[in-house]
A and B are shown apart, each in its own frame.
Chain A
Amino acid sequence: MTPPVAAPTGGPDLHRPSRPRDAGAGEGSPARPAPVRHLYVHLPFCRARCGYCAFVVETGALHRRDAYLEALGAELGHEEHRLGVLDTVYLGGGTPTLMRPRRIARLLDGVAHRCAPDAEITIEANPETVDGRQLADLRAAGVTRLSLGAQSFQPALLRALDRGATPEQVRAAVRCARRAGFASLSMDLLFGVPGQTRAQLEADIAELEALGVDHVSWYELEIKPDTALARMGAEVPDEDWSADAYERVVAALEQAGYRWYETANFARPGHECRHSLAYWGAADYLGVGVGAVSTVGGRRWRNAPGVAQYVAALAAGDPPARGVEELDPDTRRRERWMLGLRLAEGLDMAWAGPADRPEALERLIAGGLARRDGDHLTLSRRGRMLQNAILGEVMEYA
């Protein structure tokens, strides 16, 4: 019953968004990198840290929101010279909606003059933090896309994840968002939550289908070190359980009209996340705010966490504390493979650069895990489930 695999060159019904990406393998090291067209803004405030969360977040720091907004503006001022016409802006967190619509509006006002007329401007939202009025205000502030962090509709699983929203709040948020005029709605869900049953997974699938959002990110839960779940000794399900769950999610969403366009992302035609596609296309991006990462012209830097320190540094006219990583051409080539193979449309090897072990690639192609058409490489459905192992075979990671 599942539709055939979308081939790279595509059937007539295959939607192919224009895919932003870096200049590719042939690129030298230009003295001045091309203008950056993708902006990420990190808004770290949360009411509480969720059990699975390992992001840079701050709890109990709501009184610093105005100062933080000030500091973001200052960092943007420092980095402005890197920016071109912005194709996408992504406001992530944390819980960005805790900034309240008026601060979001101020933030977006500051970059509005740089944005392309059809720019994609996304904000992440926790369903319990927004109501119809606020959603309308966000829309009015220029936000075009809303990403709702639902994670599950099962009360028991939401408790296990420390999520604050009830299933009803999630449904209400979707209704309000539509009413507020959001034409592109995304939802985040998780599978592989410790204790999750097959029946609970089916229930989540049914709920999601009923809501009719435009884009779905359905991740397998990772138990990261230093999270509450890891400290509790929680374990991820075994490979067969999670493979079954993963395959089921893919089949159900494809059946419901979503395309499995990236490892964990599904979209109705035209609703692929352009900002994420920039990442997977190894394009340059600028990230501002605590913990934010930027990659520009072969150099990657990460701002240090800590709102207070960030605010203080920028108030003093300095850039925030940063860790810098220089990316040599081989590292960039391997990253292009790592990112590009996540996409259904696959990888243009003329752009990405050659495999480290072409003979291993031939073996995988012969084994039905990948297909090649000229320089274009796509993974089969099975191959997409084994992307890590495939990368380990064909690429020589450090």
Chain B
Amino acid sequence: MDQSLIRNFCIIAHIDHGKSTLADRILQLTGAVSEREMRDQILDSMELERERGITIKAQAVRVAYTARDGRTYQLNLIDTPGHVDFSYEVSRSLAACEGALLVVDASQGIEAQTLANTYLAIESDLEIIPVLNKIDLPQADPELHGRAVADLIGEDPDGVLRISAKTGMGIPEVLEAIVARVPPPRGEPAAPARALIFDSVYDQYRGVVAFVRVVDGRLTAGDKLVAMQSGLAITADQIGVMSPAMVPVGALEAGETGYIVTGLKSVGDLRVGDTLTPATRRAAEALPGYREVKPMVFCGLFPVDSDDYPDLRDALEKLSLNDASLVWEPETSQALGFGFRCGFLGLLHMDIVRERLEREYDLELLATTPNVEYLVTDTAGREVVVRSPAELPPPNNVEAVHEPYVRCTVLVPNDHIGAVMELCQERRGKFVTMEPIEQRQQIVYDLPLAEIVMDFYDQLKSRTRGYASLDYELAGYRESPLVKLDVLLAGDPVDALSMIVHKDLAYPRGKALVERLQKTIPRQMFEVPIQAAVGGRVVARETVKARRKDVLAKCYGGDISRKRKLLERQKEGKKRMKQVGRIEVPQEAFLSVLTIGNGNGDGKGR
């Protein structure tokens, strides 16, 4: 394919701003998908992605478009995830493109994440085509938001396209703009082949499938290839393109995107960001890769029924085949038995993994409170990585604790500035800057990641009536006076309920936590004291009162079977409880900590 007829582009958009709908329209208009095949959000193939309306994995789809100049172009649309947890995936997609559609909801305007991704695109030297979507909505304000978008990328407001992906209005203009404004790829067709792996998935029949962008040269089916960074040798069993179904082709040329079937057994074997080159004619230099993705949030996952432990391990193994960012290792809890400590990119990633384990693998799971990764220096000068409260050495042995910070960008209308700043202060935030963007403010704070991991996002949304948007990126480790807060039920510490907190917050958090637990744990046969303690000193206490009455009022000859069945149902109810010593603890209790960031203990459930 003549590179001058190729256009590689992606779409940058906030959740709900219409990225998937726009992608669907492009597929429809170019005839890649027939009306009959059309279903909404065709690119979001995983059940969960479709349900939540989010994109998790990047994908590339090739369509043919005959432009008004009479020539037929090959357009490669590289999908990008829209959630902050998956922002690293965005940079992968950007590296495979020459242009980006920046899609902004004409009624909502720019959101924090759009901002962050747009900066990434600008840094990657992409041609940005600004698009205002949903201009058919009565509350759309294309003037205001068009100006803001133009300002952001340093362009004339007249150059901002106005479309409605829902009705199809303006879509042909979008396709024309892609052809006219996105530069064609400029690889060396004759040079030794180099292909950037920008994503990979595990398919149970084909093994690992790598999505690649061929930069130079040509890849042919059957080629022996080498991954330049890892040195791993593979064979391109099949080469093809997504249109949007997988269609095998004989070769991929410089400038094109497509897929390679590798036959490998785990996505972990083939690093995203690596460069593939033919074994027989190796390129001299690898393409620039990506920074390695590290999990930021950790939690324990335990089967409610301990017999399910081997099944949980199998399920995690299977999920890992397709999700190299999910890490896990065995963990033993005195309270919860055998399980796994798992690492995730963020809370959404954690939720998604948990939901997939429960839904696709039919497991009933108990998740402990998520926490971040701490760096602890002990008194002997050793550095210890702490991923769970249980691993924190005793206070006497701790010299210093460092915790991860993030730089947080919040975009918010002017009348909610106070609420945002108040929340950031409560969460140990350090103010960085604030500057106006049209009628809103961009507020930047440095915050401990641990504070974000609690209900920060929920609080931000509720305190700004949904108007604030949030983005963050890791901003290094800082020393903090952190202590372990233990929870004791009936005098016995329950390791799965411990948390690491700032020492100044130990009292309010401990109080909120025991209050929350007191409301969550049902009355038992015996009184259950709940205590929060730091280093053996009790900082808060509540009591779950003992049950006083639990009888079947009457039982005669006609009732016996019915009463027996009541007892059977009572047992069913107990199944949702975890037996911790003598105490029955409901599953949600282990996540109580997530909702106490407010300090008042009655934050809404997750």
Residues of A within 8 A of B (CB): 40, 217, 219-222, 239-240, 242-243, 246, 263-264, 276, 279-280, 285, 287, 291-293, 295, 300, 302, 325, 331, 334-335, 338-339, 342, 363-364, 367, 369, 384-393, 395-398
Contact = CB atoms under 8 A, between A and B. Distances in A.
A284 to B, nearest CB: 10
A392 B555 contact: no
A243 B548 contact: yes
What are the 4 A-B residue pairs with the smallest beta carbon separation, nearest first? A243-B548, A243-B549, A388-B550, A397-B567
Contact of A246 (B525, B549, B560, B568): B549
Contacts of B548: 239-240, 243, 385-386
Contacts of B549: 239, 242-243, 246, 385-386
A264 B571 contact: no
Nearest to A327: B561
B558 A291 contact: yes
Given A239-B547, A367-B526, A397-B568, A388 B552 contact: yes
A293 B567 contact: no
A363 B490 CA distance: 15
Given A287-B558, A293-B558, A392-B574, A387 B564 contact: no
A397 B564 contact: yes
Q: Give the size category of B's interface with A.
A: 20 to 34
Contacts of A335: 560, 564
B525 A369 contact: yes
Contacts of B554: 217, 219, 222, 263-264
Given A386-B525, A387-B550, A397-B571, A338 B555 contact: yes
B582 interface: yes
A338 B571 CA distance: 14
Contact of B561 (A243, A292, A325): A325
B525 A339 contact: no
A186 B570 CA distance: 32
B571 A389 contact: no
Given A338-B567, A367-B525, A279 B582 contact: no
A240 B523 CA distance: 11
B368 to A, nearest CB: 26
B392 to A, nearest CB: 33
A124 to B, nearest CB: 11
Nearest to B566: A388
A216 to B, nearest CB: 13
B553 interface: yes
B154 interface: no
A221 B552 CA distance: 10
A295 B550 contact: no
A221 B574 CA distance: 24
B36 to A, nearest CB: 48
B544 to A, nearest CB: 13
A219 B553 contact: yes
A209 B16 CA distance: 71
A27 B497 CA distance: 49
A363 B558 contact: no
B551 A279 contact: no
A240 B571 CA distance: 23
A169 to B, nearest CB: 24
A263 B554 CA distance: 8
A395 B567 CA distance: 10
B564 A331 contact: yes
B557 A279 contact: yes
Contacts of A239: 523, 547-549
B563 interface: yes
B385 to A, nearest CB: 40
A387 B551 contact: yes
B205 interface: no
24 contacts: A40-B557, A40-B558, A217-B554, A220-B553, A221-B553, A222-B553, A263-B553, A263-B555, A264-B554, A279-B560, A300-B560, A331-B564, A334-B564, A335-B560, A335-B564, A364-B525, A369-B525, A386-B525, A390-B525, A391-B567, A392-B567, A396-B571, A397-B567, A397-B570
Q: Please indicate which of the listed interface residues B550, B556, B557, B582 has the most CB atoms of chain A within 10 Å of its own CB.
A: B557
A239 B551 CA distance: 11
A325 B263 CA distance: 57
Interface string B562-600: 011001101100100000001000000000000000000
Contacts of B556: 276, 279
Contacts of A243: 548-549
B553 A293 contact: no
Contacts of B561: 293, 300, 302, 325
A325 B556 CA distance: 17
B564 to A, nearest CB: 6
A338 B555 CA distance: 9
A264 B553 contact: yes
A222 B568 CA distance: 18
A263 B549 CA distance: 11
A397 B567 CA distance: 6
A276 B48 CA distance: 57
B560 A295 contact: yes
A338 B564 CA distance: 8
A386 B551 contact: yes
A13 B257 CA distance: 95
Contacts of B582: 363
A371 to B, nearest CB: 16
A239 B549 CA distance: 7
B547 A386 contact: yes
B550 A385 contact: yes
A285 B567 contact: no
A388 B570 CA distance: 9
A387 B547 contact: no
B571 A279 contact: no
Contacts of B558: 40, 287, 291-293, 302
B550 A386 contact: yes
A79 to B, nearest CB: 15
A114 B240 CA distance: 91
A239 B561 CA distance: 25
B547 A263 contact: no
B571 to A, nearest CB: 5
A42 B13 CA distance: 72
Contacts of B555: 263, 279-280, 338-339, 342
A369 B548 CA distance: 12
A123 to B, nearest CB: 15
Contact of B525 (A217, A220, A279, A393): A393
Contacts of A393: 525
Nearest to A242: B549
